[in-house]
């Protein structure tokens, strides 16, 4: 079927996809705009993992101050200065800074947590389970699964990328990042953050 240039432009504006990718998605969707958006989204997310290993040296440092009492700086990087200047990238950086202000994470991701801290958490959970009548006599593999579940909750509490996004709790910050990678076509990395709270300590 014939795909109009206007439809292609509209799809590109909505998704950030290239001209040919937008056209092909519309053809595959039979001209259905919403279906074409979904096709591009799925294709982008599938390739996001491949982009994760690409070096991200450009980007920006975004600042956010909440009520004069909480201040945050975040470093977000991408592959090109062109992407760093886009509204989508700037909006993402601002959202991440607001997230840090609101939720006060301790680490960027689970990979940043010292192994000793993780082992200490596991010991605490196992101790609690051993002292609980509800789990008394349970097989080791069941206990391990419960500990893993508790550890995942711990990650969601202290790790920025694992936290529910404050503007859309059904998605994690990691989900938000992957969606941006899919849209922009570049690796995007939340490198580090610093959070200051009046009368408190930095994070």
The domain boundary, picked from 32, 51, 70, lies at 51
203 in a structural domain: no
Question: Cα–Cα distance between 201 and 64 in angstroms, integer?
Answer: 17
Say if CB 178 and CB 48 are below 8 A apart.
yes
Structure tokens at 31: 């001209």
In this predicted structure, what is the pLDDT of residue 53?
57
Residues 119 and 178 in one domain: no
Q: How many domains does the structure of the chain reveal?
A: 3
Calpha distance 87→93 (Å, rounded): 10
Residues 77 and 64 in one domain: yes
Whether 98 and 188 share a structural domain: yes
Tally Cβ neighbours within 10 Å of residue 109.
15
**Average of per-residue pLDDT across 14-27:** 79
- Whether the CB-CB separation of 57 and 47 falls below 8 Å is answered with no
Mean pLDDT on 93-97: 97
pLDDT confidence tier of residue 20, bands split at 50, 70 and 90? confident
Same domain, 175 and 85: yes
- Rounded to two decimals, the pTM is 0.68
The pLDDT of residue 157 is 93
Residue 135 has pLDDT above 90, yes or no: no
In a domain, 202, yes or no: no
Instruction: Give the model confidence (pLDDT) of 101-127 as tens digits.
Output: 999 999 999 999 999 999 999 999 988
165 pLDDT exceeds 80? yes
- 101 and 126 co-located in one domain: no
**Do both 38 and 98 map to the same domain?**
no
Whole-number pLDDT of residue 46: 46
- Together in a domain, 125 and 149: yes
pLDDT in tens, 60-80: 999 999 999 999 999 999 999
In CATH, what number is assigned to the domain containing residue 172? 3.30.479.20
100 and 164 assigned to the same domain: yes
CATH of the domain at 13: 1.10.8.10
Outline where DSSP puts E strands in the chain.
58-66, 70-78, 164-165, 168-172, 189-197
Same domain, 102 and 165: yes
For the cut 90, the answer to whether the pLDDT of residue 90 exceeds it is yes
Same domain, 68 and 94: yes
Give the pLDDT mean for 175-181.
Answer: 93
Same domain, 83 and 170: yes
Average pLDDT over the chain, rounded to an integer:
87
Domain that holds residue 33: 5-51
Q: Is residue 190 very low, low, confident or very high in pLDDT (cuts 50, 70, 90)?
A: very high
């Amino acid at each position: 079927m014939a795909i109009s240039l206007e439809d292609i432009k509209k799809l590109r504006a909505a998704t950030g996809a290239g001209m040919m990718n937008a056209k092909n998605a519309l053809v595959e969707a039979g001209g259905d705009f919403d279906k074409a958006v979904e096709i591009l989204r799925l294709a982008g997310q599938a390739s996001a993992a491949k982009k994760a290993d690409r070096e991200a040296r450009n980007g920006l440092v975004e600042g956010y101050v909440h009520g004069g009492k909480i201040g945050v700086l975040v470093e977000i990087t991408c592959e090109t200065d062109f992407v760093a200047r886009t509204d989508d990238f700037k909006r993402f950086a601002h959202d991440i800074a607001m997230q840090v202000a609101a939720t006060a994470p301790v680490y960027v991701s689970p990979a940043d947590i010292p192994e000793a801290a993780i082992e200490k958490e596991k010991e605490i959970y196992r101790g609690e389970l051993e002292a609980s009548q509800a789990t008394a006599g349970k097989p080791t593999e069941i206990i391990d699964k419960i500990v893993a579940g508790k550890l995942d909750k711990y990650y969601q509490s202290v790790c920025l990328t694992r936290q529910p996004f404050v503007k859309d709790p059904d998605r994690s910050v990691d989900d938000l990042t992957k969606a941006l990678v899919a849209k922009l076509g570049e690796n995007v990395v939340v490198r580090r953050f610093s959070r200051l709270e009046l009368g408190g300590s930095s994070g």
